[in-house]
Amino acid sequence: MSVVHGIRTLGVLGSGQMGLGIAYVAALRAKVPVLLYDRSAEQIDKGLKLMDKLLAKDVSKGKIQDIEAKEARERLSVVSQEQGLKGLRDADMIVEAVSENLSLKQKIFSSLSSECRPDAILASNTSSISITKIAASTIPEGQSAASELGKQSAARVVGLHFFNPVPVMKLVELISALQTSTDTLERSRAFAIACGKEVTVSKDVPGFVSNALLMPFINEAIMWLEKGVATKEDIDKTLKLGMNHPMGPLQLADFIGLDTCLAIQQTLYQGTGDSKYRPSVLLERMVDAQWYGRKNGKGFYEYP
């Protein structure tokens, strides 16, 4: 039996490449009104420009009609800086897509829990951080995890992990915290499907299925470069042409963002204590140098 997601309005927190991509598939494919919030007005501007660019590209390629693009654009509205998180209070689901930082996410979820509707699903697009820890941060002040309010609040938190570029990648990885209710999980699954995605489910382990497998691969490639086994071009070409990967691992690391790769690897290493997840020194140094990859023009490669 198919579950009705019941999302009449979606809130998206964070207007970077992931947040905007999520807003895009929700407005265009799931056809729901989207409220977009970012604490940086500059980032909102960038996000709206990207939305217009993506819609215009789809129209020019004949993938969608002009009218569909116009309707999708009209479904997107911006929450003002003055309104802040309060501006998301009418949303039935809020997807957080800010940077990979546990304390930032805990602060945000604690505020969402008090500012937003008590029955709204609170989803995180985190790539590796524990959904169980995030869910615990929504327990209202003065309540315990075992109280009715405490249980209800944490039960609506879920991991909804999209992949970059969101409009293109077919997967959403759904992560169930210890506290997540079946209703939250199934409605989130139905919503991801309405956005045109296929869904897999992972337990709340560091990195989930996707990054627990991907990050050691990327890290190993960086260590092979560090050891001088081959050039960066040859490492990438080997995997691209030899194994039919769409991108080599170093190109992919630049694409994801080296700061994000390092943050995920640190979560994996700290969360498991397993040395196979220890980030390579070269990756740490590159992030120290503020070489973040494609997003700021310099990583393993340069992006003028």
For residue 256, state whether it binds ligand CAA (rule: CB under 6 A): yes
For residue 266, state whether it binds ligand CAA (rule: CB under 6 A): no
Which whole-number Å values give the CA distances from 103 to 75, 108, 294, in the listed order? 31, 9, 26
Q: Which of 124, 130, 188, 211 binds ligand CAA (CB under 6 A)?
A: 211
Closest-CA residue to 128 (of 103, 95, 161): 161
The answer to whether 293 and 252 have CB atoms below 8 angstroms apart is no
For residue 99, state whether it binds ligand CAA (rule: CB under 6 A): no
Question: Using CB under 6 A, which of the segments 160-168, 186-194, 222-230, 272-280 binds ligand CAA?
Answer: 160-168
Separation of alpha carbons 191 and 209, rounded Å: 21
- The reply to whether 124 belongs to the active site is no
Question: Using CB under 6 A, which of the segments 150-158, 163-171, 233-241, 291-299 binds ligand CAA?
Answer: 163-171
Residue 217 or 274: which CB sits closer to ligand CAA?
A: 217
For residue 293, state whether it binds ligand CAA (rule: CB under 6 A): no
- The reply to whether 245 belongs to the active site is no
For 129, the token pair is 């951080």
- The reply to whether 127 belongs to the active site is yes
Question: Using CB under 6 A, which of the segments 3-11, 182-190, 195-203, 245-253 binds ligand CAA?
Answer: 245-253
For residue 168, state whether it binds ligand CAA (rule: CB under 6 A): yes
For residue 242, state whether it binds ligand CAA (rule: CB under 6 A): no
Q: Residues with Cβ < 8 Å from 188, sequence gap 6 or more?
A: 5, 93, 121, 123, 158, 160, 174
Question: Using CB under 6 A, which of the segments 26-34, 39-47, 110-118, 162-170 binds ligand CAA?
Answer: 162-170
**Which single residue is written with the structure tokens 């930032």?**
104
Residues within window 52-81 making contact with ligand CAA, judged by CB under 6 A = 54, 57, 61
The answer to whether 210 and 161 have CB atoms below 8 angstroms apart is yes
Q: Strands 121-124 and 76-78, how do they pair?
A: unpaired
- The reply to whether 101 belongs to the active site is no
Separation of alpha carbons 145 and 238, rounded Å: 50
Residues within window 102-131 making contact with ligand CAA, judged by CB under 6 A = 127
Asked whether the CA dihedral 64, 68, 72, 74 is positive or negative, the reply is positive
Q: Which of 31, 165, 226, 303 binds ligand CAA (CB under 6 A)?
A: 165
Amino acid code (one letter) for 13: L
Separation of alpha carbons 79 and 165, rounded Å: 24
Residues in touch with ligand CAA (CB under 6 A)? 54, 57, 61, 127, 163-165, 167-169, 210-211, 246-247, 252, 256
